């Protein structure tokens, strides 16, 4: 993995379930003023992200795809 890339999980549509979760490499974001960048070793998918991916919260939390929670 190049120094300017990080690993992430993304989904490409509502209702895809676990089969739609893909491991991808994306550019490491640059922190803006008054922000910090934290290195993580591991993370889980938050339950609200599952609800968003299922489309339950779609009217209130619309997403553009592909989306990285």
- Per-residue pLDDT reduced to its tens digit, 3-61: 899 999 998 888 888 888 899 999 999 999 999 999 999 988 888 888 888 888 888 87
Query: Does residue 69 sit within a domain?
Result: no
Q: Give the pLDDT of residue 44.
A: 87
Domain of 13 in residue numbering reads as: 5-54
Query: Does residue 62 sit within a domain?
Result: no
- Contact call for residues 10 and 68 (beta carbons, < 8 A): yes
Query: Does residue 68 sit within a domain?
Result: no
Query: Does residue 64 sit within a domain?
Result: no
Q: Give the pLDDT of residue 1.
A: 55
pLDDT band at 68 (very low <50, low <70, confident <90, very high): confident
| Domain count of the fold of the chain | 1
Residue 61: partners with Cβ closer than 8 Å, 6 or more residues away? 52
């Amino acid at each position: 993995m190049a120094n300017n890339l990080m690993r992430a999980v993304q989904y490409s549509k509502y209702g895809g379930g676990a089969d739609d979760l893909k491991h991808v490499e994306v550019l490491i974001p640059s922190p803006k003023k008054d922000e910090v960048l934290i290195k993580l070793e591991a993370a889980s998918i938050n339950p609200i992200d599952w609800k968003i991916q299922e489309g339950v919260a779609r009217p209130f939390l619309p997403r553009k795809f592909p989306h990285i929670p």
